[in-house]
Every structure is written in structure tokens, then in C-alpha cells.
Amino acid sequence: MRIDELPHKIIFGGMKHCGKTTHGKNFAHRLNLPFTDLDQLITEHYQSEKHLPKTVREIFTDEGKETFQRLEYLALKKWIEKADLHPQPQVLSLGGGIASNKEALKLFDNSLFFIYLYQPESVLYERIIRKGLPPFLNPKNPKANFSQIFKERSAVYEQLASLKIETGNRPKDETSKIVYNTIADYLNQKKREEE
């Protein structure tokens, strides 16, 4: 895969714990491209506003969904603006909840190459609750709540996707190779179609 044939703004997205950061970072590293995690940009933006370090989970819990989504929108907007000015392709991993951020979704256009990393609902739910119940799930019935969120967000990701990759429940190294090869095959096919 040649750098000059890549889309300029490459974004990895999908549900929480689908591997966005891991596979986005591995893809960028393999091609020696800059990688950014949107969650990191959100925490940096929060810290510059409040002069207080917090994780994305703490920001969401302490400041609420509205504040978090405002920061998420601003962070994505800033990344897109910077990527437009950079001479080489840029790689970004999104947070899993961006599908419910209507303002942030307005920033998506054809200039973004959005890779939807799909994992089955049951696999994701087990991964998510392993680290404790996240603030976006209802503690009274987290599994049913997650199922609803999964359906809603998956529909948004499907609509946004330039490419959907079903990663399965494989080891990370194997999955990263599959992700890289699937992207390369897709872009090569697109190039042949355009010739």
C-alpha cells in the first residue's frame, strides 16, 4: 500500500472495545503515519478549559453527557482541521459513543475514510463489563440497555462506513493483519475501478 494512494483522513470507529485504538494505531505504525486517539484529544481539551486532568469516563460521569459531547465535537473538528493542513495522511480512532453525538456526526463527509470495525454484540458486552459498568449503561438492566445502544449505534456506523470490517474474536496481532490487508485490498480494488 503506497502512502500517496491513501485517503487523507482515515478514521477507525465502532462500538466500545471493538479495537479502534489498537488497530488504528497498528495500521498507522505499519505505514509510519501520525495516529491520534480522539479520547486523548477530549481529555486534553478538557484540561485546557478546566486546568484539571480527567479521564473520558470521569468527564462523562462528572460533567454529564452534554459537556462530554461538546468536547467530543470540538476535538473531532480540530483534528479534521489539522489533518486538512498536514501533507500526509492522518489516522484517528474515535470514541464508541460518537454515533449518538448529532453535532459531531455533522462533521462527517466524503473526505473522511471511515472504517467501521464490527464485533458481535455478545463479544463487546462481555469486554465492556469486564472493566466495570460504564456510565452510559443503565445499572438496572445493563445487558438490555447495551443491546438497544448496539442496535442504534451499529445502524449509524453502517451508514457512515466507507468500509466495514468484521474482525471476529481473534488475537489482536492476527486481527491487525486482517484489518490492514482488508483496507489494502479495498483501496486496490477502488483504484482498479477508477482506472
pLDDT of residue 167: 87
Dist CA 161 CA 157 (whole Å): 6
User: In terms of DSSP H, where are the helices of the chain?
Assistant: 20-30, 38-50, 56-63, 65-85, 102-105, 121-130, 142-160, 172-194
For the chain, domains (ranges, CATH) are: 3-190 (3.40.50.300)
Tell whether the model's pLDDT for residue 78 goes beyond 90.
yes
1, pLDDT greater than 70: no
Confidence check: pLDDT of 4 > 80: no
Percent share of the chain, pLDDT over 90? 59
152 has pLDDT over 70: yes
For residue 3, pLDDT over 80 is answered with no
Contact 73, 107 (CB under 8 A): yes
pLDDT of 96: 84
| Residue 133 confidence class, pLDDT cut points 50, 70, 90 | confident
Return the higher-pLDDT residue of 19 and 91. 91
| Residue 155: predicted pLDDT | 95
Region of poorest pLDDT, from 48-57, 100-109, 129-138:
129-138
All residues at 6 or more sequence positions from 41 whose CB lies less than 8 Å from its CB, including other chains: 75, 76, 78, 79
Q: What is the mean pLDDT of residues 37-59?
A: 92
| Average pLDDT taken over every residue of the chain | 90
Reported confidence tier of residue 73, pLDDT bands at 50, 70, 90? very high
* pLDDT tens digits, one per residue of 153-169: 999 999 999 999 998 77
What are the pLDDT digits (tens) for 7-18? 899 999 998 888
